[in-house]
Amino acid sequence: MYDVPKRIGTLVLNGRADVTEVEAQFAKEAAALGFETVDALGDEMRNVDLDLIVGIGGDGTLLRAAHIAHTRRVPVIGINLGTVGYLTEVEPENIGEMLRRLADGGLGTHTRMTVAAEMPDGTTLHGINDVVMEKVLSQRLVQISIEVNDEFYTTYRADGLIVATPLGSTAYSLSAGGPVVDPDLDVLIMTPVAPHSLMSRPTVFTPATSLRFTVATERRVRVNLDGHVGSILEQGESVVVHAGNRGVEFLTMGSHLFPQAVRHQFGLDHA
């Protein structure tokens, strides 16, 4: 259950005309129901309370909106103007219905796990899709040693390693051969990228697992969270990856169930 919001922060990363039109439509219909809408990225909003974040665009836009929602500890929902719409559930023609249900407390909620990465400098960064450890030099493999709950597991020679959440299982992890995972599960999915190893399959861990990745050679490793660079690791440096201490709350109209979303995303109707 969620508290009916008063002030809604909107996030639009795409300057396309159709996106701007939908943003204006959303603001108009929201105002008619008594909601206040503001730009979630505006500098003046940093110290202003927001009750809900709405991403207008594609899945990338919603991912950015979800990061803001996670930081502010408020729910998030997406209006789909992208090509896939795996995360963004609300179509533009359904904005009015979504807002009416929002005002009536009639939307559903689901919480999705996050992933955290403890960097060598002591900072902890959070991701919603994945933590990626990848080579800095394109022609060179990296060598990464892995400890699972402080016990040595294995060492990979590969282009990189991915630790994904179930929500992120259909992103980079999938393209590297990882499984599609129902986001109602709480697991960590470790997928090697082009490994030079007999152990080339993904591994799924419980959310209580702590994974330590240590650079085993002089070849540096870049650590990214949801596509943003977090750190560059030198030989002997480590990053510790585990489930985040809290998830992200998504509001839902209940029409975007996991099997249907996967079928739509991957065009299984036409397979």
Q: Which residues are catalytic?
A: 59
- 200-222: burial string, b at 16+ Cβ within 10 Å, e else: eebbbbeeebebbbbbbbebbbb
Q: Cα separation of 192 and 178, whole Å?
A: 9
Alpha carbon distance, N-terminus to C-terminus of the chain? 38
Instruction: Read off the DSSP letter of residue 140.
Output: S
8 A C-beta contact, residue 101 and residue 107: yes
Task: Report the candidate in 35, 83, 31, 30 with the shortest Cα–Cα distance to residue 61.
Answer: 83
The tally of CA atoms less than 13 A away on the side-chain side of residue 82 is 24
